[in-house]
Structure 1
């Protein structure tokens, strides 16, 4: 049985995992495995694949717990981020059967080199994330929730419409307008 989120000390749990305390990993698994499985299922749309993703996520959490940096976000957010990234990577990997031309491959390599060369340092990352959170707070709650469901939870527009009980067209419009507002706010 999991504890309420406000009672569970995620940072202490990750620190204990980093020290090799298996009990901490068991506690974290008990606390979050069901929710992490839900995140993986929404993205992967397959129970078996989602279970594999959560398994891999807990291995990665165990082996990389020392890499968690509280200055970059919450410990719970880090745990969910690990799972979400693994799920998204699994979905990308499944779609890699498309042939890429040599010209396209060079363009992709050039883009990757450019992105690597322009990586922001930790201070800039934190400043931008603070701005993003501030900009999200300026959105109406329903629109903010649509953005979060789409870009954090991995829901499709149709799934968001069902979840919040709004017409699909309304959800699409809210997301489109909210993205424009976020771009302007981040300006």
Structure 2
């Protein structure tokens, strides 16, 4: 128990839970994300929904924020603010990025959007990937990847598909698609360095 500015006794256990959760994330332990979602999940989703106005986008923002928290937890500066404040700031920034991206799409005419969607659906990830990568080092490194990883990376980074869209398009669970991308990018990094 601790006292706040008014001298009231307050329970600082939730604060400690979130700090411990970020420590777990920084150490690569998945229970950190579970703890954050257990203690703050509904509130985080509510904040995202208020900012974005759509439940599907709020869920996407929350998932993306959890991935960012997982990746950036080792760099989180405890002296710069509370764990809770940092978690909500990551979510808010992700929501604002989604809003910004949505405004860019909203500025396009319906005909442009239709053409873009049709072209995107017609795209085959293997079509011309060697031409795109060229004969240089990137092409050689892409050639070393297994087909599922290469397709997933090209769909994500060339065609702009989300991980969910890639999993649906390739008929695999979301976690599998994410693993293909993660492992493939790690292999590319290693090959290119």
So what's the TM-score if we normalise by structure 2? 0.47
Question: Which of structures 1 and 2 has the bigger CA Rg?
Answer: 2
Greater RCO, CA 8 A, separation 6+ = 1
